[in-house]
Amino acid sequence: MRDVMRLQPGAQVTLIDADGMSYSGTIVSYDRDGAAVRIGAAEPARKRPALIVAAAIIKGPRMDLIVEKTAELGATELWPIICARTVGKAPGAERTTRWRRLAIAASKQSLVVPPLLVRDAVPFSALLRDVPRGTLALICSGGAEPMGEVLARTRPSELLIASGPEGDFEPVEIESATRAGFVSAGLGPNRLRSETAAIAALAIAAEWLSRQSS
């Protein structure tokens, strides 16, 4: 508030807790350790349409980037998925806890309530079984019908988007997803890095859902 946004005492702020409650507040003062804020009215978290990103786990800080950007762009849940071409071992509890901390911090910074929920990692086969009822499931696939056109044609109210790992999904995974009811969606002619594809797909979907609810 002080060092980045340059807010002075007397400025109005919004505070968000980990449960999605938001509070109006007024900055009273700063000291070396933080800020004193006078808390005003509370507002419970509003229900948002499901916008789930099922992103294949990728290496190191690039996965952290996916977590942060999915939170900022308003995804409701992030499902880390383990695919045939996933590099490295499944994430342990420590790494998953880190992702959840990043998600809460990024959600608060972007005033997204309730904050992004990061699920435990699941294998690709479990993803196919666990799509919530009434949710359109998309799988990012090169050369497929553009995502914007898929959304305009199907007009979903809730979405799950699956994006692949380094090297993309195996053909058999795309075939299995199609049999399970997933719709293939393209993101343009360029070959995208895994994290770029997940973020681009979410940006398209979030903007579309926003226009439908306005």
Is the confidence at residue 33, as pLDDT, over 90? Answer: no
pLDDT score at 59: 85
CA nearest 107: which of 150, 70, 78?
70
Q: Could you tell me if 125 and 82 are in contact, meaning their C-beta atoms sit under 8 angstroms apart?
A: no
Is the confidence at residue 159, as pLDDT, over 80? Answer: yes
Is the confidence at residue 69, as pLDDT, over 90? Answer: yes
Distances (CA, A) of 73 to 2, 6, 61, 106: 24, 24, 18, 10
Is the confidence at residue 19, as pLDDT, over 80? Answer: no
Please check whether the domain covering 51-213 is classified as CATH 3.40.1280.10. Answer: yes
- Delimit the domains of the chain by residue range: 12-43, 51-213
Range with the poorest average pLDDT among 41-45, 77-81, 111-115, 158-162: 41-45
pTM metric for this prediction: 0.84
Cβ neighbours for 35, distance < 8 A, ≥ 6 positions apart: 1, 2, 27, 28, 29
